[in-house]
Amino acid sequence: MKIKPVLGILPERFRITREIVGDPLQGIPKLPEHSPEFESRRHYILERKEKLNMAYKEGFLWLEERKLMHWLVREQNKTFA
């Protein structure tokens, strides 16, 4: 038994409508112009930072990019949990 698609119009009641309420970018922290030095926080500690550094080869990211990555992980820690 083969099924063949049939051209047709989807009724309005089955259409998906998306209504974004509010600003989805509200509350997102601004990226710093100069990446700050690493500071441990409650969950993102030096040990976890080193494990993340070992996951990427040396030269994959520049030093400033690494600092920015660690800052972002530290600031958005609840998001990664």
Residue 3 domain-assigned?
no
Residue 63 domain-assigned?
yes
Residue 66 domain-assigned?
yes
Residue 1 domain-assigned?
no
- pLDDT of 79 above 80: no
Residue 10 domain-assigned?
no
φ, ψ at 43 (rounded to 5°)? -110, -30
Q: How many CB atoms lie within 10 A of CB 71?
A: 19
Those residues with Cβ within 8 angstroms of residue 39's Cβ, 6 or more apart along the chain or in another chain = 74
Q: pLDDT for 42-76, tens place per residue?
A: 888 899 889 888 888 888 889 899 999 899 888 88
Number of domains in the chain: 1
Residue 49 domain-assigned?
yes
Residue-range definition of the domain harbouring residue 50: 38-81
Confidence at 81, pLDDT banded by 50, 70, 90: low
